[in-house]
C-alpha cells in the first residue's frame, strides 16, 4: 500500500460519514415540522422543462372507493428528463386535528423506512418518482389505502384520517371471569386464535381458516388485547376485554366471536354502541380442541424415534423438547386449536415432506404414516434482483389425499446475496421477486443445476387483486398454464393490491366458507390485468 493511498483513506471515510449525517439531518428536519401547512412546504427547485410538484392533501372518507391502479408497472416514472430519487413526506392527523403518534405506514406493501409515525409525521426517502400506493396500520383508526403521485425532489402528502366507531368486545364466563383466563387452551400465543370480527350480515357458519394471526376479514380492524402484538399492546385493556374493533361509523354490524375460523357466537351491535358482551362457559373453547397424531418412518420403513416436530398456524409455531416422536415414530398433540397447520419434522439429515392441512374443531385426527427422506441442499443466488430479493417454493409432489397440500418454503436476501436451505426430495415450483423483476422456474432435486442457482429474471406484469366484493373471507391460489403454483393469498374485504408475475396465462382457484370453490382464468399481458375476488 503506498503512502498517498493510506493518507487519503481517513478523508474518504470522513466524506462518507458527512454524507450520512446530511441525509439524517434532512429526514430529521422533515419530522420536526409537523405543524407546517401544506401550502408552506419548501418549494423544490424546478427542473428545466418541468413544473415543481404541488403539495397534496388527502381526506379519507370511510366509504370512499379504492382508485384503480394504472395498468403499467407500479413505479412508472413521469415523462421528461430522467427522474431522480424523491422524498415523500407529510403529516397524519385525526378528524379532530390531533396528530397521530403511533402506527406504521407502508409504500407499495413495503414497510416504511421509519418504524413508526413520530409526532404525526412520516418520510420515505429514496422513492422512485411515479405512482405509489400508501397503506397503514394505525391502532384504533380506519386504515389508509390511497395512491399518491411522487415527484422529485420531494412531495408532501398530508392525510386526515376518516371518522371511526370504536367497539369494545368483552368475553367472560358466567361467574364474571375472563374467558381467556378460564380456558387453559388459550394460554400464551394460543390466545391469538380467539378474536372478534364484524360483518354487515350474520355469519351462517365457519370461515375458512387463515395462516395469518391478524386474520384480515370483515369490516374495520380488530386490535387484540394481546401482549404479543407489540406496540398495539401499549394501550392496556382490562383482562375481560378480548379487544377493540375499529369500524366505519353509522353502520350496524354483527360481531362474530371466532376461534381461528370456527364460529363460537355472534350478536348484533348498533352504530355508536360502546361495548358488546359475550358470556360463555370455559368448555366452549375446550370442546373445540382436537387430538392430532401421525407416524414417521425412515426410507427403509423403520420408525424414526426422536425426530423433532414443529406445528405452525396463524397463532404461531409450537415446538419444544417434548415435541418429538416416540420409539414407534409416532407423534401425538392434544388440545390443538382448530385451523390450518403446517408441519416441519427433522431428524439429523432426514426431512418430512413440507405439508399443511386443516384441523377441524373437536376431532381426533390421524394423519397417517410419512416417509422421511435425506434432505437435498440448495443455494439460491439473488444476483440481478436489484435488491429486496425473495423467493417462494412449492413442493409439486404432494399426495393426492385431499386433506393435504404442500406448504410454501420462503427465502430472502436479507441475510446475504445467497440463501441456503435443505429440501425434501422432489419437484418444486420457484417464484422469485426483486426490484429488477421476477423469475419463475421448476426444479427437480434429482437433477439439480449448478449452485448457487442463478435465477432467470424478467420484466414483471402487475396483477391487481380486487377483493372489495368478499363479504367474509377467502383463500386463493394462482397457478400458471402448466399448473405451477406461483402465489397463495387470503382476502377479506380489504384494500386492493398488486402481485408482480411473469406475463402469461394463469388460473385462480378461490376457496370460500362452506366449501365453495371457484376457478377463474387470467390472461396477464405486460400491461397488467385484474383479478376480482371472490
Residue 112 is predicted with a pLDDT of 44
235: Cα separation from own chain's centroid:
23
Residue 211 is predicted with a pLDDT of 64
Residue 58 is predicted with a pLDDT of 43
Count Cβ atoms within 10 A of the Cβ of residue 300 and give its class: 0-12 exposed, 13-18 middle, 19 or more buried.
Answer: exposed
In the predicted model, residues of the chain with pLDDT beneath 50 are 1-11, 13-16, 18-82, 111-115, 230-234, 316-317, 319-321
DSSP string, 177-195: -BHHHH-GGGSGGGGGGEE
Q: Is 497 helix (H, G, I), strand (E, B) or coil?
A: strand
Q: In the structure grid, which three cell numbers stand for residue 149, read together?
A: 403521485
Gap between the Cα atoms of 421 and 403, Å rounded: 26
Query: Is residue 259 within 8 Å of residue 244, measured between CB atoms?
Result: no
Residue 245 is predicted with a pLDDT of 94
Residue 340 is predicted with a pLDDT of 83
Q: In the structure grid, which three cell numbers stand for residue 372, read together?
A: 422421511
Q: In the structure grid, which three cell numbers stand for residue 431, read together?
A: 417464484
Residue 189 is predicted with a pLDDT of 61
Gap between the Cα atoms of 316 and 342, Å rounded: 11
Of the candidates 278, 241, 239, 240, the residue with the CA atom closest to the CA atom of residue 258: 278
Contacts for 413 with CB less than 8 Å, ≥ 6 apart: 382, 385, 387, 388, 389, 390, 419
Of the candidates 166, 169, 176, 219, the residue with the CA atom closest to the CA atom of residue 194: 169
Which phi-psi region, left, alpha or beta, contains residue 13 (left: φ > 0; alpha: ψ -120 to 50)? alpha
Gap between the Cα atoms of 534 and 530, Å rounded: 12
DSSP string, 446-470: GGPPSSSEEP--B--EEEEEE-TT-
Gap between the Cα atoms of 308 and 329, Å rounded: 11
Name the DSSP class of 153.
S
Contacts for 515 with CB less than 8 Å, ≥ 6 apart: none
Name the DSSP class of 5.
H
Of the candidates 499, 522, 529, the residue with the CA atom closest to the CA atom of residue 108: 499
Residue 472 is predicted with a pLDDT of 84
Tens of pLDDT along 125-146?
Answer: 888 899 888 888 888 998 888 8
Residue 66 is predicted with a pLDDT of 32
What are residue 455's phi and psi, to 5 degrees?
-95, 145
Residue 235 is predicted with a pLDDT of 60
Provide the β-strand partners of residue 532. 466
Residue 410 is predicted with a pLDDT of 87
Residue 212 is predicted with a pLDDT of 60
Residue 117 is predicted with a pLDDT of 74
Gap between the Cα atoms of 130 and 171, Å rounded: 47
- Can you list the alpha helix ranges (DSSP code H) found in 303-407? none
Q: Is the peptide bond before 225 cis (omega within 30 degrees of 0)?
A: no
Residue 118 is predicted with a pLDDT of 72
Domain annotation for the chain: domains and CATH numbers: 32-160 (2.60.40.10), 165-286 (2.60.40), 291-370 (2.60.40.1120), 375-458 (2.60.40), 460-534 (2.60.40.10)
Residue 351 is predicted with a pLDDT of 93
Query: Is residue 454 within 8 Å of residue 176, measured between CB atoms?
Result: no
Residue 421: how many CB atoms within 10 A of its CB? 15
Gap between the Cα atoms of 348 and 422, Å rounded: 11
Residue 208 is predicted with a pLDDT of 78
Residue 531 is predicted with a pLDDT of 95
Amino acid at each position: 500500500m503506498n503512502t498517498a493511498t493510506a493518507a487519503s483513506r481517513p478523508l474518504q471515510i470522513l466524506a462518507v460519514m458527512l454524507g450520512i449525517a446530511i441525509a439524517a439531518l434532512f429526514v430529521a428536519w422533515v419530522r420536526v415540522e409537523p405543524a407546517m401547512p401544506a401550502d408552506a412546504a419548501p418549494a423544490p427547485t424546478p427542473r428545466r422543462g418541468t413544473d415543481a410538484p404541488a403539495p397534496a392533501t388527502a381526506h379519507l372518507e370511510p366509504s370512499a372507493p379504492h382508485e384503480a391502479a394504472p395498468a403499467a408497472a407500479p413505479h412508472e416514472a413521469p415523462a421528461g428528463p430522467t427522474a431522480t430519487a424523491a422524498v415523500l413526506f407529510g403529516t397524519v392527523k385525526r378528524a379532530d386535528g390531533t396528530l397521530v403518534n403511533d402506527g406504521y405506514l407502508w409504500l407499495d406493501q413495503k414497510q416504511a423506512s421509519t418504524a413508526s409515525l413520530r409526532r404525526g409525521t412520516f418520510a420515505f426517502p429514496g422513492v422512485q418518482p411515479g405512482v405509489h400506493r400508501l397503506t397503514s396500520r394505525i391502532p384504533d383508526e380506519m386504515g389508509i389505502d390511497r395512491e399518491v403521485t411522487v415527484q422529485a425532489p420531494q412531495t408532501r402528502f398530508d392525510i386526515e384520517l376518516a371518522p371511526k366507531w370504536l367497539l369494545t368486545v368483552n368475553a367472560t364466563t358466567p361467574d364474571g371471569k375472563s374467558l381467556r383466563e378460564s380456558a387453559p387452551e388459550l394460554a400464551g400465543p394460543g390466545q391469538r386464535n380467539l378474536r372478534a370480527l364484524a360483518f354487515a350480515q350474520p355469519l351462517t357458519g365457519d370461515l375458512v381458516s387463515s395462516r395469518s394471526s391478524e386474520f384480515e376479514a370483515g369490516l374495520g380492524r380488530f386490535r387484540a388485547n394481546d401482549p404479543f402484538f407489540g406496540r398495539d399492546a401499549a394501550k392496556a385493556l382490562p383482562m375481560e376485554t378480548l379487544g377493540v374493533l375499529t369500524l366505519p361509523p353509522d353502520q350496524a354490524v354483527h360481531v362474530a366471536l371466532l376461534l381461528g375460523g370456527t364460529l363460537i357466537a355472534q350478536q348484533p351491535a348498533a352504530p355508536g354502541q360502546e361495548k358488546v358482551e359475550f358470556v360463555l362457559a370455559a368448555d366452549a373453547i375446550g370442546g373445540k380442541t382436537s387430538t392430532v397424531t401421525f407416524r414417521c418412518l425412515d426410507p427403509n420403513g423403520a420408525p424414526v424415534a426422536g425426530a423433532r416436530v414443529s406445528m405452525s398456524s396463524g397463532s404461531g409455531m409450537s415446538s419444544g423438547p417434548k415435541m418429538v416422536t416416540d420409539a414407534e415414530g409416532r407423534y401425538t398433540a392434544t388440545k390443538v386449536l382448530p385451523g390450518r397447520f403446517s408441519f416441519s419434522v427433522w431428524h439429523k439429515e432426514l426431512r418430512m415432506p413440507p405439508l399443511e392441512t386443516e384441523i377441524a374443531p373437536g376431532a381426533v385426527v390421524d394423519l397417517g404414516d410419512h416417509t422421511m427422506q435425506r434432505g437435498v441442499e440448495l443455494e439460491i443466488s439473488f444476483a440481478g434482483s436489484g435488491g429486496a430479493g425473495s423467493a417462494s417454493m412449492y413442493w409439486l409432489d404432494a399426495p393426492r389425499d385431499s386433506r393435504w397440500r404442500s406448504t410454501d418454503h420462503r427465502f430472502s436476501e436479507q441475510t446475504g446475496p445467497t440463501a441456503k436451505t435443505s429440501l425434501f426430495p422432489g419437484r418444486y415450483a420457484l417464484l422469485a421477486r426483486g426490484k429488477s423483476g421476477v423469475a419463475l422456474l421448476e426444479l427437480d432435486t434429482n437433477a439439480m443445476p449448478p449452485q448457487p442457482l442463478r435465477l432467470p429474471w424478467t420484466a414483471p406484469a402487475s396483477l391487481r387483486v380486487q377483493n372489495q366484493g368478499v363479504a367474509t373471507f377467502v383463500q386463493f391460489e394462482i397457478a400458471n398454464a402448466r399448473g405451477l403454483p406461483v402465489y397463495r393469498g387470503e382476502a377479506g374485504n380489504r384494500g386492493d393490491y398488486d402481485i408482480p408475475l411473469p406475463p402469461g396465462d394463469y388460473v385462480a382457484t378461490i376457496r370460500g366458507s362452506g366449501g365453495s370453490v371457484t376457478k377463474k382464468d387470467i390472461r396477464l399481458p405486460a400491461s397488467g390485468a385484474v383479478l376480482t375476488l371472490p
